[in-house]
Amino acid sequence: MLDQPIAQVRNLRVEFETKNGRVVGVEDVSFDVQPGETVCIVGESGSGKSVSSLSLMRLVEFGGGEIAGGELLFDRGEAEPTDLAKQGTGMMRSIRGNDIGMIFQEPMTALNPVFTIERQLTEGICVHTSMSGEKARARALELLKLVRIPEPERRLKQYPHELSGGMRQRIVIAMALACEPRILIADEPTTALDVTIQAEILALINRLKNETGTSVLFITHDMAVVAQMADRVIVMYRGRKVEEGPVEDIFNNPQHEYTKALLAAVPKLGEMRGKALPEPMKLLGREELSTDPIEGTDKLLLKVDSLITRFPVRGGLLRRTVAQVHAVEDVSLRLNAGRTLSLVGESGCGKSTCGRSILRLVEPQSGSIELDGEDILAMGPEKLRRARQQMQMIFQDPFASLNPQMRLGLQVAEPMVNYGAGSAQERTDKVAALFDRVQLPRDYMQRYPHELSGGQRQRVAIARALALQPKLIIADEAVSALDVSVQAEVLNLMMELQQEMGLSYLFISHDMAVVERVSHDVGVMYLGRVVEIGPRQQIFENPQHPYTRALLSAVPVADPAQRKTDKDLNFKPIPSPVHGMDFEPGPSLYEEISPGHKVLVGDWGEFEREPAKGKGSPLYA
């Protein structure tokens, strides 16, 4: 490794102008990035990790920030490093995208909704290189293949809103890699991605680093990703750097109390080994919750049989239905009262559609859904409205699911108002009690959603879901976008509420470590079908279907000694779920391995049932 760092941040201070005066976002932060090195900056929301990286590209100024002090030295291969803090807009325009690439956290805001993917990919290539339009298009196609986008030729002609969140994030990564930058800044690039795609993106960034010598500045709150990627780790807290060191030292011998608390909040795959029932996490510096295992009951609450949900694909001049997306195909589930059934799988596998179909937010084609013995699909509008008191949903993005113009107390009370539950005073008292229950101060009832952090907003969403005392809560990626410590607190809260109120959860997630912590039973979905279902201990300790083993082998573990290698990530491309109108798939047939543990038999989407290769077998060879 060369002595000359590619980037040096010296005594950085960033200030923001607010209506209450100037606020310091980052104070006295210094670090280096060496050529070919991956430096991970970790910390919770608001710790200043993103502000530090945006300052290096001078993008912080577009968000109301100002670099009030310090130096940003960048080695462009010249005799002396360039201080980016003093450069004009013309020089910064040539550096951004060419010498420094950036992968943003939220792909929908990073992509232009009115331009095709091809236009957006080729634009940067043409600006920074002398490639012709045809060569730039070929390079764009090559980049889409590199980030494992299915049907890349078709995707080039599409617009961002036509792609899933995971696909949009891969497009943003392809754009950042387009000109082979000297340093790649990745701001939470895998937060919204599935475990398998995340593993491949991390492997891709590592491979690029090894082949081209590109340095990586990786901002994340996922300690498992840090363990997988980092050479060196910088821990930030409230705008300051509190600890820095090699990745092994940070994980094995953390010195600062905040680093210790951060590592304690990380759910680690395998720590529930030998335990049949879920139990809350023990967090440092937090008052202990009841850590009794959550048993649940034997009473059947939700019964789903042969559920099929398909979406039309329209085309031609008259916009006729020319094909169908087979989103959910012959799915059967059982969930007992007071227990948690988790659905896991990659983007597009049908798990969210399955949850929405059960609530009839999406109308299924066929099948049967029974909640507490009542047939949900046979209900008319008025009866269904009444039945929805018993089943509520917590959405992935609390900011999108809360009304920005309503005070939070009114939003939590809204379900009770809609169903005429209680008097005005009783509703006010109930809302106050719910805010206490989700550990939010009562004065937050007068606040608006934008005045809260992501974790606090998600707590409000949980309080609103509990307002009508439902029997079933469908949590769709409810903690995937939260910081690790906030995620751990929200998960503990959900389990504590389950213990007290006998709630049943259908927990939809792609985070296998979280699923292992909270679940009684697990269903693994692939291409609209449940390929394996059973008690959580059986699924995690004795996975039988090759796709389940593939999923488990891709999970990064928060331990630098257990890093994944490329040979662990031998994935087959995901086939398209779109089929012609005459396509009629067969039923799902299962083999029972042990009581309640069933595995799909037959060849469904490339994953043919194979004999298990021993207990806990990793990915098929």
Specify whether the CB–CB gap between 522 and 462 falls below 8 A.
Answer: no
Across the 621 residues of the chain, what is the mean pLDDT of every consecutive 10-residue run?
78 84 87 91 83 86 84 84 86 85 79 92 85 88 84 90 79 85 86 74 80 86 86 91 93 91 83 84 60 84 94 85 90 94 87 92 93 92 91 84 92 92 91 89 90 81 90 88 78 88 91 89 93 94 90 82 71 74 86 92 55 34 26
**C-alpha–C-alpha distance, residues 273 and 462, integer Å:** 29
* 165 part of a folded domain: yes
* 287 part of a folded domain: no
**CA distances (Å), 449 to each of 412, 443, 455, 480, 616, in order?**
12, 13, 11, 19, 44
Residues 11 and 87 placed together within one structural domain of the fold:
yes
- How many CA within 13 A on the CB side of residue 520? 22
Residues 37 and 170 placed together within one structural domain of the fold:
no
How many structural domains does the chain have?
Answer: 2
Specify whether the CB–CB gap between 277 and 293 falls below 8 A.
Answer: yes
**C-alpha–C-alpha distance, residues 112 and 37, integer Å:** 31
Residues 176 and 210 placed together within one structural domain of the fold:
no
Residues 2 and 92 placed together within one structural domain of the fold:
yes
Residues 113 and 92 placed together within one structural domain of the fold:
no
Specify whether the CB–CB gap between 182 and 6 falls below 8 A.
Answer: yes
Residues 135 and 149 placed together within one structural domain of the fold:
yes
User: What domain range includes position 164?
Assistant: 101-180
Beta-ladder partners of 323: 313, 580
Specify whether the CB–CB gap between 601 and 607 falls below 8 A.
Answer: no
Residues 220 and 77 placed together within one structural domain of the fold:
yes
Q: pTM to 2 decimals?
A: 0.79
Provide the 10 A C-beta neighbour count for residue 4.
11
* 520 part of a folded domain: no
Domain termination site, one of 264, 290, 314 = 264
Beta-ladder partners of 392: 473
Domain termination site, one of 146, 180, 214 = 180
Residues 154 and 20 placed together within one structural domain of the fold:
no
**CA distances (Å), 41 to each of 55, 67, 133, 561, in order?**
14, 19, 37, 19
Secondary structure (DSSP) of 534-588? EEHHHHHHS--SHHHHHHHHT---S-GGG---GGG--PPPPPP-EEETT--PPPP
Hey, is 485 helix, strand or coil? helix
**C-alpha–C-alpha distance, residues 532 and 541, integer Å:** 13
* 167 part of a folded domain: yes
Residues 89 and 214 placed together within one structural domain of the fold:
yes
Amino acid found at 494: M
Residues 79 and 169 placed together within one structural domain of the fold:
no
Q: What is the CATH number of the domain that holds 79?
A: 3.40.50.300
* 225 part of a folded domain: yes
Nearest partner of 450 among 400, 485, 395, 513, judged by Cα: 400
* 40 part of a folded domain: yes
Sign of the torsion formed by the C-alpha atoms of 504, 509, 513 and 516: positive
Length of the chain: 621
* 110 part of a folded domain: yes
Sign of the torsion formed by the C-alpha atoms of 273, 278, 282 and 283: positive
Q: Say what the pLDDT of residue 1 is.
A: 43
* 228 part of a folded domain: yes
Specify whether the CB–CB gap between 505 and 475 falls below 8 A.
Answer: yes
Residues 139 and 94 placed together within one structural domain of the fold:
no
**C-alpha–C-alpha distance, residues 228 and 566, integer Å:** 12
Residues 78 and 16 placed together within one structural domain of the fold:
yes
**CA distances (Å), 446 to each of 386, 422, 432, in order?**
29, 21, 11
Domain termination site, one of 225, 248, 264 = 264
**C-alpha–C-alpha distance, residues 567 and 348, integer Å:** 25
